[in-house]
Structure 1
Amino acid sequence: MKYTLLAALIIFNTTVFSQTEATPTKTYDIKAVPFTQVKISDDFWAPRIRTVEEVTIPYALQQCEETGRVRNFEIAGGLQKGAFCSAYPFDDSDVFKIIEGASYVLHQHPDSALDARLDALIAKIAAAQEDDGYLYSWRTVHEHEDTSLAKDASNGRGLSMAGEERWMQTDQHSHELYNLGHLYEAAVAHHLATGKRTLLDVALKSADLVERTFGWGKLEKAPGHQEIEIGLVKLCKLTGEQRYLDLAKFFLDVRGYGDAYMQNHKKVKDQTEVVGHAVRACYMYSGMADVASLTSDSGYVRALNSLWNDVIGGKVYITGGIGSAGSNEGFTEPYDLPNFSAYCETCASIAFVLWNQRMFQLTGEAKYIDVLERTLYNSLNAGLSLNGDRFFYPNPLESRKNTERSPWFTCACCPSNVVRFFPSLPGYIYAKWGNTVFVNLFATSETTVQNVNSRLQLVPVTIRQQTSYPWDGHVKITVVPEKPNTFALKIRIPGWARGDAFPGDLYSFENKNVGNIAFSINGKAAPMNLQNGYATIERKWREGDVVELALPMPVHRVLSNPKVAADAGKAAFQRGPIVFCLEGKDQPDDRVLNLLVAPENEAIARFEPDLLSGVETIAFAGALVTKKTAPEQAKLKPLFLKAIPYFAWANRGKDNMTVWVPQEVGSARPVNPPSIAGASKISFSEGMKGDAAGIADQWLPAKSSDKENPFVHWWPHLGTTEWLQYDFEKPETVSTVRVYWFDDEDSGGGCRIPKSWRVLYLDDGAWVPVFHDEGFPTTKDGWDETRFEPVTTTALRLEIKCSEGVSAGVQEWEVR
């Protein structure tokens, strides 16, 4: 491999995981200015990145130590004895992602202690690699484990997901190739940051094994979880080895023989609808864009355009999150965008940003950065707590005091992905195409790019931004060429500043009258010359030239397409790129899910430096719906409300929260009336999962598989007898119960309506069945109501007999 560190550093033009310069053939015509060449010093992203560097990375490394992820490599490498220590065979990937993020930090801020820590970690990884290059700690440990010393902590997951032989289930759930994709990305990042080959040699040895094993006429299998395609392209760009690019293309083109969950149901060039697992999908689309940029394969590009239009048309949340369903961690039907059960995995937001960045680089169109910005500031940013040591996996748009950030996850893909994303965020701000410079995102920052003049001489050009974005729309851009230089400066004018809430018709502003965009050059008003969403100024630039723009930032009410049933009659609030939410702690009454905000109520924005590390809030008049007196009439209690940025919610513990607020009485939910069940203490048989309070919250399900309301279940208890119990505040005389069962057969789950059930009451310390001579019916997608002889008691128990081979659950249990 004929390359030097200097050459490698020259070609390393990357944002987080995508934009490296090509050596083998060609690459994206538009290239991101790498984060290593951007100095960011704003008050929004710079502190966020610093928190990741100082808190999140050390914390994540510690978690990998404490959860056995690092020890897995030690055991696989013969440095320790024991069994596999963590829950999943893909846990290696978390270590690789953290190394990648830490390497980005080292590139910017040399740190001898961090450098030494990575050296020690990489030595363990190298020890775990088998002689022929195979690296997958679960299998190596499994094949040599001494069961007398310890038990495999994956509890059978490793064997069921990976199979007995190498690559046996690589196109299903083994994640062998997925792990390696993250290894390759980490190796490239570490090599370019430090000049060391320790991890790179491990990656190349692995890639050579994969290249010998897979391909046309060899093992023709697709990765079950896409990611290696991105890593192989990075290796290709670093080394100039065309075979790595060919292998990435093979892994894309071999698809078309499996299921939609893994996007293996059609050839990638024939796919026009986004389906299945959201992270897998967007990693695949990113890999397709990478390969298309190097091969000029127009078939990939046509497919990517169709896929992007499909997701934008009805499968993206107002926060920029994607993947509405938890059952497949991914996509469902267009306009199926529930809020309480919204999945919106943090990894999916990161992957969506990757894909949109690449679509911009293929086309130069600002709409892709508009979507990227929405996801970045809202859904993605919400995935990490303000303190940097708590995380979201799903990012719902509604909470009923049932959601809180976690210190870690058994499946920790999201925290480790956050670690590798934020340090390289500055690489999304600027881009370059020949002598054209793009300003894509707004943040106080500086970069120097190399242009050429008419004599083909290099001319360094420094671009400086000054702004208080996203709280203020004024942006000052100073251009400092070393000598006068003619080039085009393209400044993105966000769609929201032009009255367009979102590409297409999924979301729109209630009032598109946003005000004028002020645009000037050297203090004189100038036309914007809008091209593909960019104000384009082509001129001979001289030192000290200044472009200023003022983007109007009124508070917008956003309406969704009427086909989105979950948002009917409701509005969301947005100012600039920031989507807001109502959290209970900021209101005079925390019942934010029972609010009404009339369309004519004005909203006022102000910055609060002492709230949530300093955020903009918006305030407006609203009302608590205390009681509905008719379908479109209600008793209202006036309240003055405050909304905070969505990304900042859940940093103060569990709370009620909503993004969408009713504007019509018909869409509003009144405060629950008092009920026996709601006032009861709830207990349950061992193994119950879910929020027990949800069965008494009077939120009525639409069907048995409805996940838009809290429910409980006992999966994976199969064929068992389970129970729920209400202990009353005082003796009550009751004679009726209604039960709505949870049954997720239609989404492939393991819960069904019960085989049988009964009701018992507490009588002098003993449980006695209620007297009822008509039996207890079991109904799917409806209520089972049973009336019995009145009893006076302090407790009722609902006893549930699960059918053989399945479990059961309860949506709602009423007592009268």
Structure 2
Amino acid sequence: MKKVILSFSLFISLAAWAQKSDYPIQATPFTQVKLTDAFWLPRLQTNAAVTIPASFARCESTGRVNNFVMAAKHTGKFCTHFPFDDTDIYKTIEGASYSMSIFPDAKLDHYIDSLINLIGAAQEPDGYLYTARTIDPAHPHPWAGMQRWVQERNMSHELYNAGHLYEAAVAHYMATGKKTLLNIALKNADLVCSVFGPGKLRVAPGHEIVEMGLVKLYRVTGKPEYLSTAKFFVEARGSYKGYDSTSKDPFKNGSYWQDDKPVDEQTEAEGHAVRAGYLYSAVADVAALTGDKQLLAAVDSIWNNLVSKKLYVQGGAGAIPSGERYGDDYELPNTTAYNETCAAIANVFWNERMFELHGDSKYIDVLEKILYNGLISGIGLDGKSFFYTNAMQIQNGFSHPSMEPERSGWFDCSCCPTNLTRLLPSIPGYVYAQKDNNIYVNLFMNSTSSLKVGGKNVSIIQQNNYPWDGDLRFTINPTSTQNFAMLVRIPGWARNEELPSDLYAFKQKSDKKVSILINGKPLDYTMENGYAVLSRTWKKGDVIEVQLPMEVKRVIANDKVAYDKGKVALQRGPLMYCAEWVDNGGKASNIIMPDDAQFTTAYKPDLLNGVMILESKVPAVQVDDNGENISTKEQTFVAIPYYGWANRGKGEMQLWFPEKVQSVQLLTTNKAH
């Protein structure tokens, strides 16, 4: 672990040297937050013990590794489906590097070194690295075109591959101090900077992420060309002349690629939801590092559009299966909801950056919603089964073909499983952030953390049973008596705000208040941007206690979301709940949720690795045996956290529940589905 500490120190010192402008708030590196949390630590352990090894094994068995072997020899035939399959290895190396920072693993370290040797051998002398062409340049992948970069705006993913290479290289360098993968990435980045830029080739990358990767290389090296090229790629959008601006087809007008107009003129989240999330993250990076106020205004507008008109109640994004994209405002159907796991990951990156720009808790409120619901729903509790899409409901007999009723071990396009390997071990890095002498407490996880305030060490111990319980305890241990401010996030859901917009709301307002005690004494505190500001002279052993009211709340959608009219969803703390067939008499689509339903909660340690369930008595629609008579019958209702569905087999699932029967629709089962 010594190498980790050294490399992080180098990373931070280079960043301080390289930038005059940066995010006003800086996240505390995840290596400084040691989790002991009963909810998150087992997930990180499963990622290390199961998900990462399974991902590498599947990269081997599917030919992804062999593509690099053949590229090094310039012989053979590209043996996987997509030209971006290289990135599954890059992303898993990134995740494994982060994971080794928490769980040192000499065998894994050696294996990654062997992969890096293959990657380096596959790189062409000028730095180009793209196995789909290098294996057989005369017969490249059909998406790639006969010459380098000619299909980049569309489908080649050459720069997308580069971006994930850069992210992996920085993670590996930070975790190990080794420059082997970093040198490969820098050689490639130098080529990219020599090809693209003012007076050179002008292309808006077809699938964004190279911009984020270049910014990370800039932070490590201080080389200004990396930042200027990232900014160039952002500003290249909207310059292609081949679109039909009058068309409403996102593939013809450029909006699928976020390329229909310059970024600083964009106001809506649009197009492919993963590409969009990576672009908006990069726009935040470039705005922070260059002080570009027009880009900042644009990314603010786009975020407001997402949160007020295009976000699912479980934090998912990208409603439309065609193009894996955002739809129109309030277009949030349940029966065809897409909600790609990678889009949730991209939106975690984006919301963290928005917080670091503005210091407002609303961004962490959205991040928390995504993290606890629509993101971890994408990975099974076994650590090796996944959802590419995250459904809002599954009903037997007429589920849409795009919806996945059960998890898969791998996909031909396996971007989501490998993306999860890199997101999960980085989660401790979202817990704290700092600005001057202010410490932001953003997420609630049992942990011991080491921070510096005014050059002095401060240890913070979190103790809680979150998300099942709202009682939070923080023990503050400065090395010597010291004055600073603890800014503790009071979640929107604890302040009667379901989301920082009017897209969703709690049907009834709670009169329960958040209480805060310091050293056992109640405190009158001030609120600032969603944070309780606790400013005082702290001494070793001071204890903050926060009590968040944990109630079962009914959520309703804005009337403009036609798909959710007359329905309610259930939330407790940060968690959305759903009903599965296995707990509710074999069905979930027949449940009615009247206003007078009362809920009890019970923690079930043996269910789904330990969950708090909701129980009630509610009416359910019943059809008699001959199929001619319909009635309602009271039955026991059980709801589980949404993230846990589809871990017990295949069957119905429902998240939004009708409050009463308004009509009955007769449907004929289509066996083809």
* TM above 0.5: yes
How far does the alpha carbon of each residue in 1:458-487 deviate from its partner, in whole angstroms, 9 at most, with x for none? 210111110000000000011100001110
Aligned equivalents of 2:89, 2:150: Cα separation in 1: 24
Greater shift after overlay, 329-338 or 512-521? 512-521
- Structure 1 residue 108: deviation in Å? 2.2
The residue type equivalent to 2:237 in the other structure is R
Pick from 505, 518, 525: which aligns with 2:522?
Answer: 525
Q: Partners of 1:590 and 1:260 in 2: how far apart?
A: 42
Q: Tell me, what secondary structure is at the counterpart of 1:142?
A: coil
Supply the distance in 2 between the matched residues of 1:160 and 1:83 (Cα, whole angstroms). 13
Q: Which residue of 470, 473, 486 corresponds with 1:473?
A: 470
Cα distance in 1, alignment partners of residues 89 and 491 from structure 2: 37
Partner AA of 1:192 in structure 2: M
Q: 1:24·1:242 contact (CA, 8 Å) conserved in 2? A: no
Match of 1:411 in 2: 413
Counterpart AA for 1:664: K
Match among 163, 170, 175 for residue 181 of structure 1: 163
SS at match of 2:142: helix
> Are the equivalent residues in 2 in contact too, given 1:470–1:576 (CA < 8 A)?
yes
1:570-619 residue CA offsets vs partner (Å, 9 max, x unmatched): 100000000000000011x2221122121111111111001011001001
Match of 2:249 in 1: none
Structure 2 counterpart of 1:223, from 194, 201, 205: 205
Asked if 1:652 corresponds to 2:630, the answer is: no
Give the 3-state SS of the residue equivalent to 1:626 in structure 2: strand
In structure 1, give the amino acid aligned to 2:545: E
**Could you list the per-position Cα deviations for residues 512-571 of structure 1 after superposition, in whole angstroms to 9, with x for gaps in the alignment?**
115121211111000131100000011111001111011001100100111111111110
Is the alpha carbon distance of 1:515 and 1:471 closer, same or farther for their aligned partners in structure 2, counting shifts above 3 Å?
Answer: same
5+ residue gaps in structure 2?
A: 241-253, 400-404
The question of whether the paired residues in 1 share the 8 Å contact of 2:593 and 2:658 is answered with yes
- CA pair 532-321 structure 1, distance change in 2 beyond 3 A: same
SS at match of 1:302: helix
1:7-26 deviation per Cα after TM superposition (whole angstroms, max 9, x unaligned): 75215469xxxx97672333
Partners of 2:7 and 2:21 in 1: CA distance: 16
Equivalent pairs, count? 647
Flag the structure with more relative contact order, 1 or 2, with Cα contacts below 8 A and sequence separation at least 6. 2
Q: Distance between the aligned counterparts of 2:376 and 2:213, measured in 1?
A: 24
The residue that corresponds to 2:608 in the other structure is: 612
Aligned with 1:638: secondary structure?
A: strand
Instruction: Describe the superposition over 1:87-138 as per-residue Cα deviations: whole angstroms up to 9, x where unpaired.
Output: 0001011110000000111222221100110000000000000011000000
Q: Does 1:537 align with 2:499?
A: no
The residue that corresponds to 1:583 in the other structure is 580
Q: Given the alignment of the two structures, is residue 516 of structure 1 paired with residue 519 of structure 2, yes or no? A: no
1:567 aligned to 564, 585, 594, which one?
564
Aligned to 1:377: 372
Percent identity reads 47
1:425–1:514: structure 2 CA closer, same or farther, 3 Å change rule? Answer: farther
Distance 1:5 1:591 in 2: 50
Tell me if the contact between 1:24 and 1:241 (Cα under 8 Å) persists in the aligned partners. no
Question: CA-to-partner distance for each residue in 1:430-453, whole Å, 9 max, x for gaps?
Answer: 10111110100001012111111x
Q: In the alignment, is residue 116 of structure 1 matched against residue 110 of structure 2?
A: yes
Query: Are the counterparts in 2 of residues 608 and 614 from structure 1 also a CA contact under 8 Å?
Result: yes
Secondary structure (helix, strand or coil) at the match of 2:46 reads helix
Distance 1:5 1:550, change over 3 A: closer
Match among 541, 545, 553 for residue 556 of structure 1: 553
Deviation string for 1:729-782 (max 9, x for gaps)? xxxxxxxxxxxxxxxxxxxxxxxxxxxxxxxxxxxxxxxxxxxxxxxxxxxxxx
The answer to whether the 8 A contact 2:4-2:101 is kept is no
Instruction: Give the match for residue 78 of structure 2.
Output: 84
- Give 1:634 shift: 6.9
> 1:5: how far off?
9.3
Report the Cα distance in structure 1 between the residues aligned to 2:100 and 2:634, rounded to whole angstroms.
Answer: 54
Structure 1 residues 638-649: aligned runs within 5 Å: 638-649=634-645
Q: If each structure's helix is expressed as a fraction of its own residues, which one has the higher value?
A: 2
Contact in 1 for aligned 2:594/2:618 (Cα 8 Å): yes
What are structure 1's unaligned runs of at least 5 residues? 146-157, 453-457, 679-691, 695-709, 711-816
The reply to whether residue 693 of structure 1 matches residue 661 of structure 2 is no
617-626 vs 529-538, which moves further = 617-626
Distance in 2 between residues matched to 1:414 and 1:20, nearest whole Å: 30
| Residue aligned with 1:486, SS | strand
Q: 1:19-98, aligned counterparts within 5 Å?
A: 23-78=18-73, 81-98=75-92
After TM superposition, give the deviation of residue 635 of structure 1 in Å: 2.3
473, 486, 491: which one aligns with 1:489? 486
| Whole-angstrom distance in 2 between the partners of 1:142 and 1:594 | 56
TM-score by length of 1: 0.77
Asked whether the equivalents of residues 514 and 554 of structure 1 are also in contact (C-alpha less than 8 Å), the reply is no
**Mapped contact 1:21–1:31 kept (Cα < 8 A):** no
> Closer, same or farther in 2 for the Cα pair 1:38/1:365, shift >3 Å?
same
Aligned-partner residue type, residue 524 of structure 2: P
Q: Distance in 1 between matches of 2:375 and 2:306?
A: 17
Q: Secondary structure at the match of 1:143?
A: coil
Q: Deviation digits for residues 24-54 of structure 1, max 9, x if unmatched? A: 3332110100101100111100001110010
Per the alignment, residue 381 of structure 2 pairs with: 386
Contact 1:477–1:548 (Cα < 8 Å) also in 2? yes
CA distance 1:609–1:7, change in 2 (3 Å): closer
Using the alignment, how far apart are the partners of 1:597 and 1:444 within structure 2? Answer: 35
Question: What is the Cα-based RMSD across aligned positions, in Å?
Answer: 1.9
What residue in structure 2 maps to residue 196 of structure 1?
178
User: Residue 133 in 1 paired to residue 88 in 2?
Assistant: no
Q: 1:506: how far off?
A: 0.5
Asked if 1:163 corresponds to 2:163, the answer is no
Give the number of the structure whose residues are more often strand, by fraction: 1
Query: Are 2:316 and 1:338 equivalent residues in the alignment?
Result: no
Contact 1:13 1:32 in 2 (8 A): no
1:596 lines up with 2:601 in the alignment:
no
Question: Shift in Å at residue 193 of structure 1?
Answer: 1.2
Q: Is the 8 A contact 1:528 1:536 kept in 2?
A: yes
Given residue 496 of structure 2, which amino acid in structure 1 is its aligned partner? G
8 Å CA contact 2:314–2:373 kept in 1: the answer is yes
Secondary structure of the corresponding residue to residue 275 of structure 2: helix
- TM-score, structure 2 as length reference: 0.93
Aligned-partner Cα distance in 2 for 1:97–1:29: 28
Q: Alignment partner of 2:671: what SS? A: helix
What amino acid does structure 1 have at the position aligned with 2:300? Answer: N
Alpha carbons of structure 1 residues 21 and 72: separation in structure 2 relative to 1, 3 Å: farther
Q: Distance in 1 between matches of 2:10 and 2:661?
A: 59
2:281 pairs, out of 277, 280, 286, with 286
Partner amino acid for 1:537? L
**Which position in structure 2 is the counterpart of 1:460?**
457
Out of 233, 236, 240, the position equivalent to 2:215 is 233
Any runs of at least 4 consecutive aligned residues in structure 1 with deviations exceeding 3 A, and if so which? 4-8, 11-14, 19-22
Q: Match for 1:584: what amino acid?
A: W
Residue 440 of structure 1 pairs with residue 442 of structure 2: yes
> How many Å separate the matches in 1 of 2:618 and 2:195?
64
Give yes or no for contact 2:492–2:530 (8 Å, CA) kept in 1. Answer: yes
Q: Tell me, in whole angstroms, the C-alpha distance in 2 between the residues paired with 1:394 and 1:275.
A: 18
Q: Is the 8 A contact 1:446 1:462 kept in 2?
A: yes
**Residues 113 and 289 of structure 1, relative CA distance in 2, 3 Å threshold:** same
Larger mean Cα displacement after TM superposition, 19-28 or 251-260:
19-28
